[in-house]
Structure 1
Amino acid sequence: MVTKTATDSRRWLALILLCATQFMFVLDVSIINVALPSMQSAFDFSQQNLQWVINAYTLAFGGFLLLGGRAGDLLGHRRVFIVGLTLFSLASLMGGLATSGAMLITARSLQGLGAALSSPTALSILTMTFTEGSERNHALGVWGATGASGGAAGVLLGGILTGMLGWEWVLFVNVPIAGAAALLAPIFLNETVTKKDSRQFDLAGAFCSTTGLILLVFTIVNAEGHLARTLGLLWLCVLLFAGFILIELRSPAPLVPLRIFRLRNLTGANLVTLVHGTGPLCTLFFISLYLQQVLGLSALDSGLAFLPFALAGGASSGFASVLVNRFGVKPVLTAGMLLMSLGLVLFAQVAVGGSYLIHVLPASLIVGASAGLSFVPLTIAAFMSVKAEDAGLASGLLATSQQVGAAIVLALLVAVASAHTKGIIAAQGESPAVLASALTQGFQSAFYLGAGLVALGAIAAFLVIQQRTKHSRLN
């Protein structure tokens, strides 16, 4: 006979395993950026081709997330989780052993596919392992803190591994983590097949949604300087998504049952998620450039400079579950988004002759803390009243909103900052002083725009998210 204590112990061991994979996926996103210059030298990448080391992963990850989440509902969350981890591990090994740029980019695409299968199913397993309420809130707090620590570890570990062992090791490091997690999953995770009555697969819907998402992310990340192509591809995306909706309305076994959007908190959480990543994106992207290109810090010093940001996010993620249990998801989420907007306004005060302690550290702590504070209630809201059979779908939708939102927001912010910088240089010349000033003013414009986007997210959270919901079957 299994005691309740033993069962509880097994569930928390399952949480450790799931968090280890979350740590790895977040680590992989940040660690690869540090090794890009070394990869460029190794394979003689042009600046244009180098971006595909990142974009190949982003396209596959963002494009297949929805499919991966639903596959878990149909085929079993643990089974799909293991398949994704195995693929991710093998793809990481392939990338580390790459002998050409094409082989490396292919490996990164396969990594993205593996992550798209494992990431949403991991979150699904977590939500079904822990009961809705304070127990699940605590587990999600641990999940959020793990993600924040993965981002910090990636920046530091990337610099150390690349400098001491070579760029290959930023990929090799994933192999033992993903491999061990795949082997341990059958021991600590229960299998869940929540669609036993129907194994039909919506191939037409899967084609339209996956193609549309991949094309959308591709169009966004490659929009600069290609206005006509961008407009044409966006129009094609609209047609694909319109076709997807028509297919889902008619399909007997839809990939995304549209009834799911009658869950107000799930819909609201996805809307907020589209802009939630703005704070971390602004910090990691623009502040990294500001520290190195304006203040003159080294890559390693810049990595160390992000530690307070990551630690604040980890600490607030753990504390957020306590606040949600006391005050509910709506006030905590709204406050977190408003705090993030404030942090971005502070970042917009960066100056050419600025300092880390005055212009970067305070805002880093605020944005980091607000990101963790809002992530936990955001995730909790997305799963309130979601049936077990739709857990994978809810995870896939949330992760898709996160990836697509990040791609859109970053492209928009970069375009605004770049246009502002180029305008100043065109008017005043390219002396070092002008360049530093132009870059800084470009960053400032991006931060102000980011603050506005996050404020819109706070408004959406306040207006759409419900404090309490009744469980409904939504047949």
Structure 2
Amino acid sequence: MSKTVTEPNPQRWKALTFIAIAQLMVVLDATIVNIALPSAQADLEISNGNRQWVITAYALAFGGLLLFGGRIADLWGRKNTFVTGLLGFAGASALGGAATEPWMMFGARALQGVFGALLAPAALSILAVMFTESKERAKAFGIYGAIAGGGGAVGLILGGVLTEYLNWRWTFFVNIPFAIVAAVGAFAVIHESEGARNRSPLDIPGVLLSTTGLVSLVYGFTRAESEGWSDGGTIGMFVASAVLLAAFVLVESKVRAPLLPLRVLLDRNRGGIYLSMGLAVIGMFGLFLFLTYYLQVVKGYSPVKSGLAFLPMVTGMIVGSTQIGARLMTRVPARLLMGPGFLAAAVAMLMLTQLELDSSYPALILPAQLLLGLGMGTAFMPAMSLATTGIDPRDAGVASAMVNTSQQVGGAIGTALLNTIAASATTTYLDDHMAQAGASEQGARLVQLQGMVEGYTSAIWWAVGILATASLVAFTFITAGGGKTGPAVASGGKDAEEEPVLVAMH
């Protein structure tokens, strides 16, 4: 195969702008609806039993179809997939904002997940093949990593502002200008060569097994949160997921053109990145959940104020990703950024185990959030870059999809596992202390609030351990990165030399 190169065209930075807009839209959409959910539930008369589907429909479609979306990007072209995903996401968002019945809302959220699963891996794989020079790649992935890590907190802020000052429908409508601007811009400035596409036939059995296996896994954790871990349906979902994913691995090892080539997973560095990032997201999603409730229920913050209270984490993410990670990525091994980054996040969580009813925001919560953001931003940035370094260009989409899949599954596990731990600890505390509250309503309320805080801190202790484990995985498994050579070359092998021509053009 003839060697192709990526032309040094400055227009690629314009392309990065549109990729960043799209990534921000997808990531913040995972949390922006959370704050608006009570208002939407009341307007559409969604029952308490069904309200979880506003969140679950998106998570199932997005998490279940990511691998398929990644391979579609490889087959059909990353630019085509990216633009289609953006326009579809805009249409689904319009449907959600205009919903008049619960089924319209659930359907719109599922469609958002479907199109999100197309555009998210396409965006990362475009970035991976567009920026191959060492310093440029560091800057580009610094920006991308900051958005990927901090977008969830931005969603909490934006969701609070839109819900309080406009109404819940704008948490959907706000996606439309984001998507249209990104789609028009990407169509204008990104050009992808035909040779960059993967012409292998689509692995239909792999698509069916991976999609049903991942949907079963994500739904199993979602169901565990509402129905309990011993529920028959929950156990059934986990068993089905294990069987389907085991069959998927078997099929992928046999077919000629697999959906997910096992070499992508079995590479020591990529495997370590997928595992450590998944673990880290478990801990981070727990913090979003508990701090939101702590600030609003215990501290009495408004939705806007509680959203703004997450700004230190966003600031830390941006600084950690663009100033620490991006500056050091080409100088030190990735494990010396990821390992300490996840460890710093664990220390931040350790600080938050000291939460009390009267804890000071400036003295405890603010510095903990800042440290968590710095740690996660520093770790995520090299992880995003290294996960797509040296990959065969025709596998770039599915390798990128695995980054998103590890985050999505981690988020589902984190929400279900840590929420279950918190609820159990709260129940135990109330059983032991409610008698001490006496007959007064104020005393009972105080004990209930103390029980909530006890539950949060119990779960945060688990998050500390999970983040420490992510740090250990990064130190142990990840050996690549650093040095003066560009990331695409540092991996060695012919894959590193066969980057396709993907340039930004007028």
- Give TM-score scaled by structure 2 length: 0.89
Q: Residue 385 of structure 1 aligns to a residue in which SS?
A: coil
Which of 289, 298, 303 aligns to 1:299? It is: 303
Letter in 1 for 2:467: V
CA deviation vs aligned residue, 1:213-260 (integer Å, no higher than 9, x gap): 011101111114352221122111111112111211221111011122
Q: What is the aligned partner in structure 2 of residue 250 from structure 1?
A: 254
CA RMSD, aligned part only? 1.9
Change over 3 Å in CA distance of 1:197–1:222 after alignment to 2: closer
TM-aligned CA deviation for residue 178 of structure 1 = 0.7
Structure with the bigger RCO (C-alpha within 8 Å, sep 6+) is: 2
Point out the more displaced range, 25-34 or 438-447.
Answer: 25-34
TM-aligned CA deviation for residue 170 of structure 1 = 1.0
Q: What is the aligned partner in structure 2 of residue 461 from structure 1?
A: 474
Which of 366, 377, 394 aligns to 1:389? It is: 394
Point out the more displaced range, 39-48 or 57-66.
Answer: 39-48
Asked if structure 2 preserves the Cα contact closer than 8 Å seen for 1:268 and 1:464, the reply is yes
CA distance, structure 2, for counterparts of residue 344 and residue 444 of structure 1: 9
CA distance, structure 2, for counterparts of residue 220 and residue 31 of structure 1: 21
Letter in 1 for 2:321: S
Q: What is the aligned partner in structure 1 of residue 224 from structure 2?
A: 223
Change over 3 Å in CA distance of 1:281–1:192 after alignment to 2: farther
CA deviation vs aligned residue, 1:405-430 (integer Å, no higher than 9, x gap): 11112211111111000111122227
TM-aligned CA deviation for residue 149 of structure 1 = 5.4
CA deviation vs aligned residue, 1:192-223 (integer Å, no higher than 9, x gap): 55675733111111000001101110111111
Point out the more displaced range, 143-152 or 52-61.
Answer: 143-152
Change over 3 Å in CA distance of 1:101–1:194 after alignment to 2: farther
TM-aligned CA deviation for residue 279 of structure 1 = 4.2
Q: What is the aligned partner in structure 2 of residue 233 from structure 1?
A: 237
CA distance, structure 2, for counterparts of residue 215 and residue 186 of structure 1: 35
Letter in 1 for 2:344: L
Identity, in percent, stands at 38
Asked if structure 2 preserves the Cα contact closer than 8 Å seen for 1:263 and 1:385, the reply is no
Do residues 410 (structure 1) and 410 (structure 2) align? Answer: no
Point out the more displaced range, 244-253 or 144-153.
Answer: 144-153
TM-aligned CA deviation for residue 295 of structure 1 = 2.1
CA distance, structure 1, for counterparts of residue 66 and residue 273 of structure 2: 17
Q: What is the aligned partner in structure 1 of residue 88 from structure 2?
A: 87
Stretches of structure 1 lacking an aligned partner (at least 5 in a row): none
CA distance, structure 2, for counterparts of residue 147 and residue 232 of structure 1: 32
CA distance, structure 1, for counterparts of residue 430 and residue 195 of structure 2: 58
Asked if structure 1 preserves the Cα contact closer than 8 Å seen for 2:164 and 2:303, the reply is no
Point out the more displaced range, 189-198 or 87-96.
Answer: 189-198
CA deviation vs aligned residue, 1:302-326 (integer Å, no higher than 9, x gap): 1121111111111211011102222
Q: What is the aligned partner in structure 1 of residue 459 from structure 2?
A: 446
CA distance, structure 2, for counterparts of residue 381 and residue 76 of structure 1: 22
Asked if structure 1 preserves the Cα contact closer than 8 Å seen for 2:32 and 2:158, the reply is yes
TM-aligned CA deviation for residue 46 of structure 1 = 2.1
Letter in 2 for 1:331: L
TM-aligned CA deviation for residue 385 of structure 1 = 1.9
Letter in 2 for 1:336: G
CA distance, structure 1, for counterparts of residue 295 and residue 344 of structure 2: 23
Q: Residue 406 of structure 1 aligns to a residue in which SS?
A: helix
CA distance, structure 1, for counterparts of residue 91 and residue 255 of structure 2: 35
Q: What is the aligned partner in structure 1 of residue 375 from structure 2?
A: 370
Q: Residue 49 of structure 1 aligns to a residue in which SS?
A: coil
Q: What is the aligned partner in structure 2 of residue 124 from structure 1?
A: 125
Do residues 419 (structure 1) and 420 (structure 2) align? Answer: no
Q: What is the aligned partner in structure 2 of residue 155 from structure 1?
A: 156
Q: Residue 224 of structure 2 aligns to a residue in which SS?
A: coil
Asked if structure 1 preserves the Cα contact closer than 8 Å seen for 2:333 and 2:479, the reply is no
CA distance, structure 2, for counterparts of residue 149 and residue 461 of structure 1: 21
CA distance, structure 2, for counterparts of residue 197 and residue 181 of structure 1: 25
CA distance, structure 1, for counterparts of residue 410 and residue 154 of structure 2: 24
CA deviation vs aligned residue, 1:161-194 (integer Å, no higher than 9, x gap): 2223221111111112112222222211122556
Asked if structure 2 preserves the Cα contact closer than 8 Å seen for 1:77 and 1:193, the reply is no
CA distance, structure 2, for counterparts of residue 411 and residue 465 of structure 1: 28
CA distance, structure 2, for counterparts of residue 447 and residue 196 of structure 1: 44
Q: What is the aligned partner in structure 2 of residue 287 from structure 1?
A: 291
Q: What is the aligned partner in structure 2 of residue 207 from structure 1?
A: 208
Asked if structure 2 preserves the Cα contact closer than 8 Å seen for 1:223 and 1:230, the reply is yes
- Give TM-score scaled by structure 1 length: 0.95
Point out the more displaced range, 21-30 or 48-57.
Answer: 21-30
TM-aligned CA deviation for residue 152 of structure 1 = 4.3
Asked if structure 2 preserves the Cα contact closer than 8 Å seen for 1:283 and 1:364, the reply is no
CA distance, structure 1, for counterparts of residue 252 and residue 153 of structure 2: 40
TM-aligned CA deviation for residue 353 of structure 1 = 2.1
Asked if structure 2 preserves the Cα contact closer than 8 Å seen for 1:73 and 1:390, the reply is yes
Stretches of structure 2 lacking an aligned partner (at least 5 in a row): 438-443, 482-489, 496-506
Asked if structure 1 preserves the Cα contact closer than 8 Å seen for 2:340 and 2:471, the reply is yes
Q: What is the aligned partner in structure 1 of residue 341 from structure 2?
A: 336
CA distance, structure 2, for counterparts of residue 194 and residue 461 of structure 1: 34
Change over 3 Å in CA distance of 1:279–1:241 after alignment to 2: closer
Paired positions, count: 470
TM-aligned CA deviation for residue 132 of structure 1 = 4.9
TM-aligned CA deviation for residue 368 of structure 1 = 1.2
Q: Residue 190 of structure 1 aligns to a residue in which SS?
A: strand
Letter in 1 for 2:451: A
